[in-house]
Structure 1
Amino acid sequence: MMDVLIVGAGPTGLTIGIELARRGVDALVVDRAEGLFPGSRGKGIQPRTQEVFDDLGVLQAIRAAGGPYPTRMIWQDGERVGEQPMFEAVDADEGTPYTEPWMVAQWRTQEVLHARLTELGATVAFGREVTGLTQGAEGASVAFADGTAVRARYVVAADGGRSAVRRAVGVGMAGETVDPSPFLVADVRVRGLDREYWHAFPGSDGSFVALCPLAGTADFQLAARLPEGTGPDLSLDGVRKLVAAYTHLDAEDVTELRWASDFRPRAALADRFRAGRVFLAGDAAHVHSPAGGQGLNTSVQDAYNLGWKLGAVLRDGAPEALLDTYEEERRPNAAAMLDLSTGVHRGEVRRGKATVQLGLGYPESSLSVETRTAPAGVRPGDRAPDGTVAGVRLFDAFRGPHWTLLGATTAVPGVRTLPAAPESYGPGVFLVRPDGYVGWAGDSADGLAAYLTRAGCR
């Protein structure tokens, strides 16, 4: 029986796979498709996710695979009528090195993550469709369409909004329609349109077509909101007619259709993120409108949170109860991100400080313990900012599957220790979790040992 079976080789499943592989956990990623997802869909990598990718050892490749977002150019009747910045600016400082979303087509993000997973010695088994799941006290058995089955101590459902695993364990998912109009998204090759702008062509009835040059590729991502009652045509001819109807381009200027999909924007949240030995992550747990670029990024945060906890239980002797904190921390966070995505879609929230995910944390978590007599500055549950201590950059010190202690006078076995915290943290001793959030803070290291035992760090 293996340790963990991960169902779904999207960004969520691949991230969890990387997290477990670097901890020496016996895990397998499976996917019903015959290969990696081919489209651009989730193309925005938020600053907090860039910090996660830095820790996972893939940020350099992610940055090389994409580029910054262009300014939006508005068109009317074949004329350029105005520019709009895509995001409100977020100021960079020592604690926040990445402040702007980075555009990377989802298929390229998955290629980078898959390469890292392979580098760590793990694999993805494609063409494995889940048809059933049973579980008991010691583990779960997952059945596949080819008649085979795999037993694992834990199963992670990272198999999307129509998750077969979620249905198999009977977890409901409540939601609402964000927009009644049908949407179409496609990757196309286009001639006669410059790549300096994200080109928007609004219709008179609230419909639109937008063509965004996909950084790091020769493609444009076409996104369209169609009139209610319209049936999206995902063929090359259908996409050509759509472009000709909304833009100044001719149908033949769309020279290639590489991928296309249609959807109706919806917000939905699973009733639970854990069902016995099964954990829900990514779109299997929450479905977002694509507006604001929160879906993929929230999914990566799920994986980052769950990965270190599974590793702690399976390899470090942490109590099983640690795994309950996954739902405790991630479900409220996902619910907040669903509200944010819906707000951006409806024009109620601007992209910028609210959407970069740098302010997210777990202040109400049972893992966030404050023992200082006069707390100030960074609090338990907060994201641990970057900075420099004794010539060491904190993000370099945090990188890896370990805990980090800032400000202690003596070293703690199994924990990387630095002699101080940056001034921006405020006074005290700070224990930083493997996922880059402050778990514990105190005036001294008194009481730290009990916290580390509870979290399985010793």
Structure 2
Amino acid sequence: MTDVLIVGAGPTGLTLACDLARRGVALRIVDRSPEHPRSSRSKGPNARSLEVLEDLGVVEAVLAAGSPPLPMRKYRDGVPVADTDPYAGSSPTPDAPYDRGRLIAQWRLEEILRDRLAGYGVAVETGTEVVGLTDDGSSVTVTLADGSTAGARYVVGCDGAHSRVRKLLGVPFDGETDEEQLMVCGDVEITPGVLDRGIWHQWFDEDGAVMLCPVPGTRTGWWFQSGPERDADGRPLAPSPDGFRRLFARHTRLPAGSITGATLLSTYRVNVRMADRYRVGRVLLAGDAAHVHAIAGGLGMNTGIQDAFNLGWKLDRTLRKRGGPGLLDTYEEERLPVAAWTLALTSERLRATLEAIREPGGGLDTAITPSTAGLDRGYRWSSLARLGNGGGNGDGDEDGVRSGDRAPDAPCAEAATGAPTRLFRVFAGPHITVLGFGAGTERTLREAAGTHGEAVRTSRVYDAGEPGPGTAAPDALHDRDGLARAAYGVDGDTVVVIRPDNHVALIAAARDRDAVRRCLDALDGVREPDPMSVASMVDGTRKG
């Protein structure tokens, strides 16, 4: 019997597996494919997903393997008519270190995540297909295609839009498929020198389109997307290498033989569908198994990665019988509305893009908006955003950071050594973070550490002019430029609690220690303070 069985080893399943494995959760991750796919598919993680990947310890590998988003060159009748850089003028800010996503082939991202998972002693079990499951209320028995069975305390279906897990649960996948908006896709090889690999090329004509984006880490590989060829009656033809060459030559006015290879060919239809629930007993859904939408804005894989990051810590605490009642139910409570929002946004961006490309100079840059970066998605409506404060800190449209929002970053320094650091480095890992701004928070920090132990990381945040020489605790931070206070909009003595998925759980005045206690009890379970731990913390503070 394992704790968690993850079905599907794409970016969603691998993100969840990495997060659970670092928490010490016993898990298996299976995929029905006999070998790891080499499809480029998704264009890469957006800014918010890069933050998740940083927390998981793989962002440097992702940045090294990928490339920044490329400027887009739009053509009409084979002639360049406009160059556009959707990110011109944008740059990282103190609270958001990634102002844009990263281009990387999906197979390469999955490879990086599998390597990370292997470091925890877990490998993907390929060629393992789930064909049945039974939930008896205390565990789930899964039947595999070879006739064997496996037991798990929880099962998570990350097995894509055609999810077997979702179908076995009988969960509706309501929505619609647009049979008119078709696209043929694939990975192609193009003779070196034919096209500039520093450009995402987009040909839009009255009778169709071709889009070619270079695959990072290759010399000749490109993502190919186009409207399909059609027969004499207007019916779409299945994609083929020769068909790709004909489409390429028609729209680019370049030799058809420039395409020297074409693989992983598929037809894409715009599907806008969403499961009506993400949990049935001990079985949960994530990623494309729970929602699919238009590709405009590139949010498919990213929404799945962020599903997984929301779910991982909640599963862990539920397995350990930590956290408040219903903690696992907040996964659906928080992520289902995000999926609904994503469906609406991507459908609207697709409409805007199709309208834009009717005119010369229009292109895929129309699909990109500040919201597609994922940095403005939070959970202010969630019951977890109301912990300990009667709902006031998580409701409404107040300006500034509130409970449920993404936790911003800020550069600061280690107070004990002066070495530069960032809030994201403090947040990174499976713990809850408790920041204390001002001397009046020290008692609350001691209580949190004494009661919740290694489940929390407490950090006193000193202002400019503090602390005195040799007085800072090892985990203390120095907010010398006031950027941490500015990021959270706090004045005076204030406690900020950050969830393990790097969303704000609570912002409370230091005097409101009961609110902090209630919040931590809901996130980590009610615990009795450890007198020795508290005494040690107090003594350490005096000596520090």
TM-score by length of 1: 0.95
Question: For each residue in 1:43-100, what CA deviation from the matched residue of structure 2 results, as whole angstroms up to 9, or x when unmatched?
Answer: 1310000000000001001011110121111223332222122457545310011011
Q: Give the deviation of 1:134 after TM superposition.
A: 1.3
1:442 to partner: Cα distance: 1.0
Match of 2:506 among 440, 444, 456: 440
The unaligned stretches of length 5 or more in structure 2 are: 354-365, 415-420, 462-483, 528-544
Distance 2:177 2:100 in 1: 29
Unaligned runs of 5+ in 1: none
**2:330 match: secondary structure:** helix
Distance 1:89 1:369 in 2: 37
Q: Which structure has the larger Rg?
A: 2
2:30 matched to which residue of 1? 30
The corresponding residue for 2:481 is none
Query: What is the TM-score of this pair, normalised by structure 2?
Result: 0.80
Q: In the alignment, is the contact (CA less than 8 A) between 2:229 and 2:243 conserved in 1?
A: no
Tell me the secondary structure at the aligned position of residue 417 of structure 1. strand
The farther-off stretch of 363-372 and 168-177 is 363-372
Offset from partner CA, 1:250-293 (integer Å, 9 cap, x none): 22110112322212111111011111111010000000212111
Share of identical aligned residues, percent?
Answer: 43
Counterpart for residue 426 of structure 1: 489
What is the SS of the residue equivalent to 1:223? strand
**Number of the residue aligned with 1:222:** 224
Matches within 5 A, 1:12-411: 12-87=12-87, 90-178=90-178, 180-191=180-191, 192-205=194-207, 207-218=208-219, 219-226=221-228, 229-315=234-320, 317-319=322-324, 321-347=326-352, 350-369=367-386, 371=389, 377-391=400-414, 392-407=421-436, 408-409=441-442, 410-411=445-446
Alpha-carbon separation, structure 1, partners of 2:336 and 2:78: 45
Asked whether 1:417 is paired with 2:480, we answer no
The DSSP-based 3-state class of the residue aligned with 1:97 is coil
Offset of 1:178 from its aligned partner? 5.0
- 1:273-323 CA distance string (max 9 Å, x none): 111111010000000212111000000000000111001111362356211
Residue 193 (structure 1) shift: 1.3
* CA RMSD of superposed structures (Å): 2.0
Aligned to 1:453: 521
Q: Secondary structure at the match of 1:302?
A: helix
8 A contact 2:77–2:205 mirrored in 1: no
In the alignment, the residues of structure 1 paired with residue 306 and residue 235 of structure 2 have an alpha-carbon distance, to the nearest angstrom, of 35
Deviation at 1:342, TM superposition (A): 1.2
Structure 1 contact 132–143 (Cα < 8 Å) conserved: yes
Q: Could you tell me which residue of structure 1 aligns to residue 464 of structure 2?
A: none
AA aligned opposite 2:181: S
Distance apart, 1:227 and its partner CA? 6.5
Q: Does structure 2 conserve the Cα–Cα contact (< 8 Å) formed by 1:182 and 1:232?
A: no
Specify which structure has the higher proportion of helix. 2
Residues 44, 344 of structure 1: alpha-carbon distance in 2 compared, 3 angstrom cutoff: farther
Q: C-alpha separation between the residues in 1 aligned to 2:458 and 2:412?
A: 11
Deviation at 1:351, TM superposition (A): 0.7
Q: Which deviates more from structure 2 when the two are superposed, residues 43-52 or residues 71-80?
A: 71-80
| Alpha-carbon distance in 2 for matches of 1:88, 1:168 | 47
Distance in 1, matches of 2:87 and 2:103, equals 13
Query: Which 10-residue stretch deviates more, 424-433 or 173-182?
Result: 173-182
* Separation in 2, partners of 1:119, 1:43: 26
Instruction: Tell me, yes or no, if the aligned pair for 1:140 and 1:277 is still in contact at 8 Å.
Output: yes
Which gives a bigger RCO, structure 1 or 2 (Cα 8 Å, sep 6+)?
1
Could you tell me which amino acid in structure 2 is paired with residue 424 of structure 1?
A: A
